[in-house]
Amino acid sequence: MLKTTQQGTFSVQATGTDGSPPIVWNVVFVAVQVLRPRSKIHANPGSGYSGSASRLGSGAIQVVSGAAPNHGWASMLDVRLVGGGISFDHRLGIDSVALNMLSNGTGTDVTATYVNDALVTKQSREHLPKVPVVDTDDRDVDDPLQHFPKATNTNAITIERWGNEFVVQFFDSPRTLSFPLKHPGHKDASIRRIDGSMKFRTALAAISKDAPHSVVVYAHIAWEADVSGVVEVKELDDVPGPDGRPLRDENNEKIQLINASWTALATAGTRTEPRFTVLPGGADAKDAGFEIWPPNFMHQVTRHDDP
């Protein structure tokens, strides 16, 4: 492995132990420099979150921490790539380096609470068996870094370039699992509230296009999306069938149109560290505490229901 603390163009000579002629490589080391670690960071208040359901049958509700263009969390970094070449340019080799967003889920304690007419309480909880876990939209991703920009419901990155300087913008709007409006094991209990938060770490990462599985992290930040709120469920009229009588499901229960809405508590919203932590010279993603391989967050998180 070749390492240096200097960017630029170098000649490296390797000499074999078997008496074979030396081999000379011309190599370019590209430096990734974070210019403004205190760049603007956006965090949605709970009023920017949403959750609703309106459908036949039991229905389900999911809380989303924002929607484009008002994402739940966003930030921006100014970055410079310095490669080889003439002294006033230093662009040689920088086109072989790809900047990207690396996001990990670091935990979730989201819980839905259900109550019946007798005030018996049951719960459903989100569970992550292992953290950290890579956070992407693709459940079957086998590429450690997703090549954005592309608009998604959860995370994205956009990059603007001027010469060897870049403005990198991160966006993320995580969402909970879907919680049934009726508790799966207790159909007489309706959802009343959702509490807790999903936690994340997001990094500026870079890879060489010639070695895409060697991911280096240059700056990172921790944040969380608190989805605590009250859920109001309204069971509306029965749904009439062709004969005029109420439709029934496979359990011979009447099918009703159910509306539900989520309203944020005062504690809800996105909380974030005030600035990125910069790693001068970068660090291997694993050494920086990041996971790059699947399974990902939405594929790993499961719902555990009280019996």
Residue 247 to residue 49: CA distance in whole angstroms: 34
Dihedral of the CA atoms 58, 59, 60, 64 (nearest 10)?
-160
Give domain limits for the chain. Answer: 44-68+101-142+175-305
pLDDT over 70 at 37, yes or no = no
Q: Which residue has the higher pLDDT, 89 or 280?
A: 280
Residue 206 to residue 84: CA distance in whole angstroms: 17
Q: For residue 125, what pLDDT band results from cuts at 50, 70 and 90? A: very high
Q: For residue 123, what pLDDT band results from cuts at 50, 70 and 90? A: very high
Q: For residue 284, what pLDDT band results from cuts at 50, 70 and 90? A: very high
Residue in the block written with tokens 């944040």: 223
Tell me which DSSP letter residue 70 carries.
B
Q: Which residue has the higher pLDDT, 306 or 7?
A: 306
pLDDT digits (tens, 9 = 90+) for 212-232: 778 899 999 999 999 999 999
In this predicted structure, what is the pLDDT of residue 298?
Answer: 80
pLDDT over 80 at 280, yes or no = yes
**Can you list the alpha helix ranges (DSSP code H) found in 168-250?**
none
Q: Which residue has the higher pLDDT, 40 or 120?
A: 120
What is the percent of the chain with per-residue pLDDT over 90, rounded to a whole number? 42
Residue 84 to residue 210: CA distance in whole angstroms: 17
Least confident range of 33-37, 47-51, 130-134, 261-265: 33-37
Tell me which DSSP letter residue 289 carries.
T
Q: For residue 238, what pLDDT band results from cuts at 50, 70 and 90? A: low
Least confident range of 58-72, 85-99, 183-197: 85-99
Mean pLDDT of all residues in the chain? 83
In this predicted structure, what is the pLDDT of residue 154?
Answer: 45
User: Mean pLDDT over residues 184-197, rounded?
Assistant: 93
pLDDT over 60 at 78, yes or no = yes
pLDDT over 50 at 178, yes or no = yes
